[in-house]
Each structure stands twice: as C-alpha cells, then as structure tokens.
Structure 1
C-alpha cells in the first residue's frame, strides 16, 4: 500500500528532522520513520509526527518516532509554525513564544523565536528543556562517565573517550535503562567544547550518529554543572552544528535551556510504501 504524506524537513543546528504533517496511526510511526530517514527517502536523523494537542493553549503537538522528548525537534516544530506564519502567534520586537506539546514532556513547552528571516528561511530558536531526574558519576576504565537520566531518555557523558559503536555498546550494556525510549552516549572533549552524539531509539531500532543532539548537549552541561556545583553556559560544537546551552544551579539543577539556528530545508509530499496488512483507520 502506498501512502502520500505531507512533510516539512528542517535543520535545527545539524540535527535534520522530518515533520510529518498529516495524521498517522501510532502503529505506523516506526515503519514510516525508517523509510523517511533512509537515503532512499528524505534522509534525516529523526522523524516527528504532528498530532492533536490536548491543551487548548498549544498550537499543536509533535510526537517523536519513539515517544521520546527531543529539544531540537521542539525547536524545529516551533520554527515551522513561525515560517508558515501561524495566525495565533503574537510577535513583539521580532520575537514570539510558540506554545506546543511534545512527546516526553508534560504540559505546554514554550520555545521562543528570538530572530527570524523569511527570505533565507532561517530562525534562531531557544527552548526550555526538562531537567534531569538524576545525575551521577561512575568509573569507565581510566575515565569517568556522567550518567544523566531524564524522563524517558538517558545519556552517558563520556569524557575523552574515542567515539565508536563498540564504546557505545559497552556503555549501553551497563547503563542504559530498559524503560527509556532512547539512550545516547555523548562523546565529550571538554578542552575543545565538542561532543559527538550517538543515539539509540528503541521503537525504531535506529542507532544514529546525530549531527547534533539538544538533550545530549543539556546532559553534558548538567554533568559539568553537577561536577562543579555551579551554573554553567556552554557553546558546544557538534558534527553538523553548534548549540548554546545554559544550566542553572541552585543547590541542584533548577533550569536548562538550549538555543541555536533552525533552517527550513524542504516541504511537500512524500510517498511511503507500507505492508499490505496496514489499513487506514
């Protein structure tokens, strides 16, 4: 069965994200995401699906392919709503808050468009981020890992560990939580302020070297703040982009936000081929 879907593809600081704009059954997310992420599809790090918001204050809802929270996808969706000039957005001095819902986050999230250029289809978007439930440190050979657990997603911050799937598999076998929708290892060079993210999304079985990872960047900043016991701001270079992260410390982590550029890449229709047993509801 062939199905036509409307989409937008955006680039939030290197973490290419496809947003499926048509309603889609939840049980099809994994197969559709797999096709759209591949080189024969649209080629992307991740896929989100627009759904109906529960809170009337939200302009829409984005469900990630594995049910996880993603800060870059939230920024991408907010930018998309700004690029299409959503009529409910209120602008002040070229800035606007974009109330949305997103999987893995309770309530309404408020990303902020701090600058937008419709001619170049680019925007700067800052989003508040969930704070971790727990940050703790463990030995990993001669190195240290910072284990940062959020609701539904966990990251291991690996200081000065060479990026590799073997290192990821070793760390994941010891420290990933089975109930998490996603688990990532952030290979972190503190001297260079650089991270290389490798992320597993369980529902789709996808292990992706991401161009950038917002929750991973926040995990790195939270690990640094917890180690130093103070607020921190980091400019983190990643393989395909840069994210600015701020973590507030007040006897513990009390707030986090991430910001960076978002570019619109493409929008239109895409055809996906689904197994014959799939039927519209």
Structure 2
C-alpha cells in the first residue's frame, strides 16, 4: 500500500483531486482515480494528474475540464506563493513577510487534456483561496437542437446536453435519466458527457450538471461544472448575442463566463473561486498504484 502525494481543491465546489503524473499509463490513472474518489478514501468529483514543471494536466479519463484547469492555476500559484503564518507554523517554515501581496496575480499557459490549444490561467489571491480565470481559444464547437429546450453542444474533450428546466424538469432519478439520454443519442463513446439542467429566474442563470467520464467510470451530480457553464453560454450567445454571463452553480458560487474576440480569434474565459482543501499523502490498495 504505497503512499501517494495528493492535493484536493474546490473550484467553486467541484472537488478535484490532483496526483503527480509520474509517467503513469492512462489505465493506471483511471483506476487510481476511481479508488481515490471513493468516499472511504479521499472523496471528490473528479481527479487529474499534473506535472507542474511542464505545466501539464491530464484528467483521469483524458477529458477536458474547465474547473480542474482553474484549480491547476491555483496549484501553480501555490508553488510560488509563500504560505500564510498558520500554514508556515504547521509546516515548520519561517513566517512570511508581512508585506506579502494577497492581490498579486500569477499568469500561466498550460496544456490540459481534451483541449487542442494552450489554456491561459490567471490566478489572483493567496493560499488557500484564489480566484482563477481560464481563457480558451475556441475551435469549432458544433451545436444542434435536439428538441424544444434541448441542445447538444460538442466541446473538445466533453459533450453537453443542455436541458431547459422549464421544459425538461429535473428527474427524480437523474443518473438513470442521463444514462438513457446518452444511449439514445449515441454518446456512450464520448470521453465525457454532461447533462445540464438550467433555468433563468429574475435575471439569474443557474444550472445543475451531471457528468459521466467514460474511462474513469464515474458519474457525479457535480457542485459546479465549468465546461457546462461554457456550453450554456455558447448556446445562449448563439440564440441572442449575449456575451457575458454569471451562472450560479449548485455549490453556491457563480462562474463568470465571457465571450470575446482577440486577434481575430474567438475566445472564452471562465472565472471563479478556487480553494485548497487538503494536501498530503494517501494510502490506496496496492493494485491502484
């Protein structure tokens, strides 16, 4: 039962585990993630494998994840940002200088699984709380209407089915409903599929995402979903031309999505809070390592 180092993050509630990439195969990553995400071990909604020096993130199923990308930005900032006095005392480190600038910004370019171009990450704040924006160069993201109030949006690395909750209420058994939806639409071969129920009340958008990752064999009703928020923003932009959105997530915080042009290219940015939850070592069954 070897010890594995880990860190646990909450990008808007979408709890994410990071482990060192360390040359593990895709199959090993998927198996390790399934075990670690179990509540009897570390728990969480998703897992990724990181190489901070190379600024690389690979999700356990090879999927694309906006929130994990944002959490990776916080992890990179943590590597540069001196710990606070309490954490320094816990770890036996010298207390940081009083003038440590909590408003300092950190900027990175990272490669993340599922997305075809580098992702720009901007982190503001200090340990253990940041705000992190992920800016993405948008490739073609095909969409099609499946029915009134139901839209399929294909992003690189993940496909979302958007369901207007006014026309398609949230079902009692959401996991079974989402499984049947994937099968009916022929999406079982996709790296990851989300079913996103959304609505707008008194000018405030909110959403409820359920995400299935094929290779990791995980299905979670997530506390936040950055790619789902992006898919919803793209769909609403196509319908009405709006470019700026604040989308309330089930965990209680909002993700801010903006669509813009830069150098003749279409871009999107997703911004929101990220907090470190824990870091240390975990012991998993031998066949997971």
Q: Tell me whether the two structures share a fold, i.e. TM-score over 0.5.
A: yes
User: Is the counterpart of residue 268 in structure 1 residue 280 in structure 2?
Assistant: yes
Shift of 1:247: 2.3
1:22-41 mapped onto 2 (5 Å cutoff): 23-26=22-25, 27-41=27-41
Residue among 217, 238, 241 paired with 2:249: 238
- For structure 1, the residue ranges without an aligned partner over 5 or more in a row are 53-57
Q: TM-score under structure 1 normalisation?
A: 0.84
User: Is the counterpart of residue 98 in structure 1 residue 103 in structure 2?
Assistant: no
Paired position in structure 2 for 1:147: 152
Q: TM-score under structure 2 normalisation?
A: 0.82
Residue among 75, 80, 86 paired with 2:70: 75
Shift of 1:196: 0.4
Contact 1:176 1:183 in 2 (8 A): no
For residues 64-102 of structure 1, the C-alpha deviation after alignment (integer angstroms, 9 at most, x for no partner) is 000011111011011011012179xxx9x7212112211
Aligned residue pairs, count: 259
1:1-281 mapped onto 2 (5 Å cutoff): 2-21=1-20, 23-26=22-25, 27-51=27-51, 59-85=54-80, 94-113=104-123, 115-118=124-127, 121-129=128-136, 131=138, 132-139=140-147, 143-160=148-165, 161-163=168-170, 164-191=174-201, 192-228=204-240, 230-240=241-251, 241-248=253-260, 254-275=266-287
Q: Name the SS for the 2:227 alignment partner.
A: helix
Q: Name the SS for the 1:110 alignment partner.
A: strand
Moved over 6 A (4+): none
Contact 1:59 1:98 in 2 (8 A): no
- For structure 2, the residue ranges without an aligned partner over 5 or more in a row are 83-100
Measured in 1, the distance between the counterparts of 2:21 and 2:66 equals: 21
Contact 2:34 2:217 in 1 (8 A): no
Measured in 2, the distance between the counterparts of 1:255 and 1:83 equals: 26
Measured in 2, the distance between the counterparts of 1:130 and 1:195 equals: 24
Shift of 1:176: 4.8
Shift of 1:59: 4.2
Over aligned residues, Cα RMSD in angstroms? 2.5
Measured in 2, the distance between the counterparts of 1:268 and 1:187 equals: 36
